[in-house]
Amino acid sequence: MDQVTLKKYAELLVKTGVNIQKGQTLVISCPVEAAPFARLVVEAAYKAGARQVVMRWGDEQISRLTYLHAPEDLFDEFPEWRKEFYLTHAREGAAFMSIYASDPEAMKGVDPNRIMRSQIAANQAIKEYSDRLMANKNRWLVASVPTKAWAKKVFPNLTEDEAVANLWDAIIKATRADQDDPVKAWEEHSKQLHKRVEFLNNIRFKSLHFKNALGTDLVVELPEKHLWAGGSEKSADGISFNPNIPSEEVFTLPKKDGVNGVVYSSKPLNYNGNLIDEFFLTFKDGEIVDYQAKVGYDSLKSLIETDEGSRYLGEVALVQYDSPISRSNILFYNTLFDENASCHLAIGRAYPTSLIGGDEMTEEELALNGANYSINHVDFMFGTEDLDIVGKTYDGQTIQVFKDGNFVI
Ligand code: ZN
Ligand code: ZN
């Protein structure tokens, strides 16, 4: 990819993504392989007024070696210095950017239990940090750049270099970084999503009924105080930002005990470097009571059995089958992209901001208002080109929301 476009993309992540303010700290998590691009982000951040940019480098191959060879007790620990790192920067109001570029098979053969335990240990140690991000108290962003292993998975018939070039093309298009002024293009895009959000918030749906030929037949109730969101959001200090680039969704939360029926996945899910594919989940009063997967059953099991809340849902998101990412017809094996090509649900925690006044609620109040809590929040895709959605409102009307995969309202 040419330098001009890469610089535009880096600037988009800094301005439209985390929206760095003068004097602010930016913390970037990034694979070592993506260092050349990270340097462009660092430069853009300082130009935008950042006080300091702090890197947290990662390498999946090293993580894999650790999971394979380290002694058992390591996975129940989280180092004190790392906890201090996250909490200190979160409390000082830093923005957090995560460059997510996971090889969908990086952890093949690793015991999913080890990964799950280290996530539980991490979450216990830095719960304050994740609570702050989930409630938009710190601005945050997830975005992607290609890595060789990931690109080869997306384009298996190309050489490594060609695959990386093609994946760059797809990412730059999907994020609108190919446009003359990507920041402006995102403002326009956000306006469109905000219109849809406003419309849905005015209707006040009590439930949504999803149906398609794959076998999905699922009724999702929404809490009385649910709020739809999509496009740019506002952090607690009133500054707008975009937590995901790209983003095509409008989303809210399901009522924790109000989900009934069955849902079939429509795309593979990369969960912690393992693929889960062709799976279904059966719900009764919100709880997953049965599930199967043709690929990755053990990973799905460890996801669902992580904690009490990972047997329930925390997000329901509507994305047109005709979204630009979906029209590209590329299977990204990366949830950030695939979830923006398809209606999806999240297993686990709900965003407090999906409830009216939710960012000021205690955990008990969130639960009383129907929000689920878990250390997980894992989106999976179930939208198809024949998906129908019928909504019922609190005042008893029935309204068709999706016909054949697309909005009809
Ligand atoms: Zn979503
Ligand atoms: Zn989500």
CA distance 350 to 327: 29
Which ligand lies nearest to the CA atom of residue 313 in the structure?
A: 2
pLDDT digits (tens, 9 = 90+) for 110-124: 999 999 999 999 999
Ligand 1 centre to CA of 23 (Å) is 31
Percentage, residues of the chain above pLDDT 70? 100
Ligand 1 centre to CA of 161 (Å) is 31
Residue 86, classed as helix, strand or coil, is helix
Helix (H) / strand (E) containing 35: helix 35-47
Reference 54, options 17, 9, 90, 15; nearest CA is 90
Give the pLDDT confidence score for residue 340 in this predicted structure: 95
Q: Does the pLDDT value for residue 59 go beyond 90?
A: yes
pTM of the model: 0.94
Residue 224, classed as helix, strand or coil, is coil
pLDDT digits (tens, 9 = 90+) for 257-296: 999 999 999 999 999 999 999 999 999 999 999 999 999 9
Q: Which residues surround ligand 1, an ion (CB under 5 A)?
A: 249, 251, 317
Using an 8 Å Cβ cutoff, are 401 and 203 in contact? no
- Cis previous bond, 246, omega within 30: yes
pLDDT digits (tens, 9 = 90+) for 313-370: 999 999 999 888 998 999 999 999 999 999 999 999 999 999 999 989 999 999 999 9
Give the pLDDT confidence score for residue 324 in this predicted structure: 85
Ligand 2 centre to CA of 153 (Å) is 23
Band (pLDDT 50/70/90 cuts) for residue 60 is very high
Ligand 2 centre to CA of 112 (Å) is 21
Which ligand lies nearest to the CA atom of residue 377 in the structure?
A: 2
Ligand 2 centre to CA of 113 (Å) is 23
Reference 216, options 174, 135, 143, 279; nearest CA is 279
Ligand 2 centre to CA of 347 (Å) is 9
Band (pLDDT 50/70/90 cuts) for residue 73 is very high
Percentage, residues of the chain above pLDDT 90? 97
Residue 183, classed as helix, strand or coil, is helix
